[in-house]
Amino acid sequence: MADIISIAEKAMAVKAQWRSADIWELLDRLGIITAIRPLGSAEDGLKGYCTGFFGQFYVCVNQELPDYLQELIAWHELGHIILDPDLLRNGQYIGEQDPLHMRTKTEQRANIFAAEGAVDDSALLDLLHSGDTVPQAAAKLLVPESFIVYKAAILRAYGEEIPPLDLPDAQCLAAVITGAENL
């Protein structure tokens, strides 16, 4: 549980330092070059990636995704930069189609970071405590269900009374996440 707390605290620290939860503003303030480009269809294209050259980080997000999923992907990529910057040196990149990186640990860490960054604590707690299911909360908060589960695990680690849920597969962003699952 200590790892989930340390990851969440890094996301909290970024938001607190810059007094913002807007991912695009945070990326700009952190000096991370950001692009929203066509990376294939929303259903089976690359959702996003990040890389680094000479100490400069770069995030690219698929423009074919709905805005709310672009934000989630940007949070995920920022998670890679904050949590695993050494994997992004000299043009190495992290993307869900990269067969060489440590998929499970690296991806799960970035997913936890993204859940903390993108999902509001009080909004999720209100929904869960009022009886909403994970799919209902995901639909209302416009995130894939797996990120509700990640955020619930974070909140539980901080002592919130939420029933335990199995953490999703680390590759949950590799699946089709067009947002249709939330509508």
List average pLDDT for each run of 10 residues in the chain, which is 183 residues long.
Answer: 88 94 95 96 89 93 95 96 89 60 76 96 94 92 94 94 69 55 46
Instruction: Work out the number of other CB atoms within 10 angstroms of the CB of residue 102.
Output: 13
CA 16 – CA 132 distance, rounded (Å): 29
CA 72 – CA 81 distance, rounded (Å): 14
Position 115 scores a pLDDT of 97
Position 88 scores a pLDDT of 87
User: Residue holding tokens 């991370």?
Assistant: 32
Position 118 scores a pLDDT of 96
Position 180 scores a pLDDT of 45
The torsion angles phi and psi of 93, rounded to 5 degrees, stand at: -135, 165
* DSSP secondary structure code for residue 169 in this structure: P
CA 109 – CA 54 distance, rounded (Å): 24
For the chain, the structural domain boundaries read 2-178
Position 93 scores a pLDDT of 74
